[in-house]
Amino acid sequence: MPSEDAAAALALDRGNALLLVIDVQERLATAMPPAPLARLKKNAEVLIRAARRLAMPVVATEQYPKGLGPTVSSLRELLPADPMTKMEFSCGASRPIAREILGTGRRQAIVVGMEAHVCVFQTVRDLLRGGFSVFVAQDAVISRSDENRAVGLALCEKAGATLTSTEAVLFDLLGVAGTPEFKELTALIK
* Catalytically annotated residues: 23, 86, 119
Residues 110 and 104: beta-carbon distance below 8 Å = no
* Alpha-carbon gap, residue 25 to 65, rounded angstroms: 8
Q: What CA–CA distances, in Å, run from 149 to 31, 33, 113, 114, 127?
A: 14, 11, 11, 9, 19
Handedness of CA 40, 168, 56, 64 (dihedral sign): negative
Cβ–Cβ contacts within 10 Å for residue 111, how many?
Answer: 28
Point out which residues pair with 58 in neighbouring strands: 19
Contacts of 40 (CB under 8 A, 6+ apart): 24, 32, 112, 113, 114, 139, 140, 141, 142
- 3-state SS class at 141: strand
Cβ–Cβ contacts within 10 Å for residue 91, how many?
Answer: 30
